[in-house]
Each structure stands twice: as C-alpha cells, then as structure tokens.
Amino acid sequence: MSTIIEVSNLSFSYPTEEGKAAHRVLHDIDLKIEEGEFVAILGHNGCGKSTLAKHFNGILKADRGSVHVLGMDAGDEENLLEIRRNVGMVFQNPDNQIIATVVDEDVAFALENLGIPHDEMARRVDEALELVGLSEYRQRAPHMLSGGQKQRVAIAGILAMRPKCIILDEPTAMLDPKGRKEVMKTILRLNREEHITVVLITHYMDEAVQADRVIVMAEGEMILDDTPREVFQNVGLLHSLSLDVPQTAELMFALRQEDIKVPISVLNVDECVAEIEKLLGGGEND
C-alpha cells in the first residue's frame, strides 16, 4: 500500500486586516493517508477540517511544513495540474459545481479543458456516469435533478478525470435523507469496489462510522485518529468538543452512566440489539 497524501508539520494562517495578527487555523499537523483508505474527518465549524482538506490538492499553500501528494510537493505550482488530476474535490453545494446545461456535457467539462481526445472523453464520461448510477440521466438538464443526483453528477465530473483520491467536503449537508443515502452509497462503492481513496468531511456520525478511519479535529489540531470503533468510545471527549456520537454509542454511554455493564464500542443497531438482549437475558457483558 502506497501513501497518497503525506502532511508534515503543517501550519496555516488566513490573512487578516492590515495591522492585525494573522489567524492561525492549523497547528503542526502530521498525517498520512494511504492508497485505498476511507478516512472521515470530524470537527465543529471553524476547527480547520476544510482548510486542511484544501491543502490536499493545492487549493491552499502551507505557511510552514509540507504536503506531498503521490510524492509531489503541493507547494510547487508546477505540480498542481498533475496533483489535481489525481486528487479531485467535491464541495457542499452541487449547484456551485455544475456549469453545463446537460449532464454529460458537465461531466465532460474538465476533460475538454485538459484537451482529452473526443473518443477518450466519451468513454470516460460513460464510465463515470455508470459508476454513479446516472447513465439514464445523461441528456437531462442538471437543474431538473434532485439534490442527491446533482451531487452524483459533481462526483462523476471528478471521476471522469480518473483520480486516485476524492475529497468530499460535507457533500451531503444540503441533502434530504434520500439524497444523503444515494451519495453515501456511491462513495462506498467507489472506495470498496473501485479502490479509490476517499477523504470525507462530515457532521453526520452515521456516515463517519462507515469509514476505515476517523480523524477528529479541534482548534486546528488533530485530537483523535483511529478506527471508528475506537474513536466513538470517547463519548465524553466528543461531547466536550460539541460533537455528536452514533446513537448506539450514545445509548451504551447512558446505560454505563447508570452503572449498567454494557460495552461502549457499539456502532450499529444490530450490535446494540445484541447487547440489550444479553442484558435482558441476564447474559454476561465485558
């Protein structure tokens, strides 16, 4: 397994008005993301998670430290085109990313700018729309699609460039539950079946539990970095950071507060039901 993104001692500040000290957003971040991983990044608004992600494909440049993508220095402008071909970014509002009046034209837009030959471009558009399950919508007007479908069009536009990694910055925040489910199903399939590295910034714990790894940020620093099962055992800490936890972990935490012996490392409904059945049946729990 090779390293896709490597961050070393990264610090970053946004400029402020003249005469005022710069606002430090990231503090000495060290991080590696490996090929094929699905990493979720959590944190309250203003914690620096989106700022960090924007360093992964060179949208922002570090004040101190370094970011390397596939071995390329993201601080070197000569590398940016190749980095952005390999690391695509999908933002919160799909309406801000869709620019064409027909779905397949929108998916092809970046390829046209790169000068990809027409036959190759057509193949890539077909593949990308198939991967996100929108082949039958290729001639539709994007504004006629649902929110979830629009976000999948935005993802298809990135996939057409055949990236090794996709960064998604709260892609389901503006969607209804059905749209969220559509987008998450697409993200999981791309990671599990197509082996595309995924970095997902989200506020939804039910999305984070599906990742291989969860990073929790606060005040520009990484507080936790582990599997979902390990991270979500830290219920008290996460609450102190104004973060939710999965409802199953919340229930186990509440039971333990009442001195009821149940494990807190429960992430899904089936596991929760099994533990409660043990409890009601008088079974032993760790």
For 169-211, write each residue's pLDDT tens digit.
Answer: 999 988 899 999 999 999 999 999 999 999 999 999 989 999 9
Averaged confidence pLDDT in the chain: 91
For the question of whether the overall pTM of this predicted structure is more than 0.85, the answer is: yes
Per-residue exposure over 150-182, b if at least 16 CB sit within 10 Å of its own CB, e if not:
bbbbbbbbbbbbebbbbbbbbbbebbeeebbeb
In sequence order, the β-bridge partners of residue 14 are 23
Please indicate, yes or no, if residue 269 is contained in any of the structural domains.
yes
In angstroms, the CA 277 to CA 189 distance is: 33
Q: For residue 265, is it within any domain?
A: yes
Q: What is the pLDDT of residues 24-78, one digit of tens each?
A: 899 999 999 999 999 999 999 889 999 999 999 999 999 999 999 999 999 999 9
81 in a domain, yes or no? no
Q: Report the side by side order of strands in the sheet with 23-34.
A: 23-34, 3-14, 64-69, 72-73
pLDDT of residue 224: 97
> Are β-strands 38-42 and 64-69 bridged in parallel, bridged antiparallel, or unpaired?
unpaired
Tell me whether residue 256 is in a domain. Answer: yes
Both tokens of 282, joined, read: 């008088």
Collapsing DSSP to helix, strand or coil, 212 comes out as coil
Query: Is 251 a member of any domain?
Result: yes
The yes-or-no verdict on residue 282 having pLDDT over 60 is no
Q: Is residue 220 part of a domain?
A: no
pLDDT for 101-160, tens place per residue? 999 999 999 899 888 999 999 999 999 999 999 999 999 999 999 999 999 999 999 999
Q: For 237, list phi and psi in degrees, rounded to 5.
A: -65, -45
Q: State how many domains the chain has.
A: 1
Residue 286 has pLDDT above 50, yes or no: no
Q: Which two tokens stand for residue 151?
A: 């976000």
**281 belongs to a structural domain:** yes
User: Does residue 268 lie in a domain region?
Assistant: yes
Instruction: Domain of residue 262: give its range.
Output: 246-286
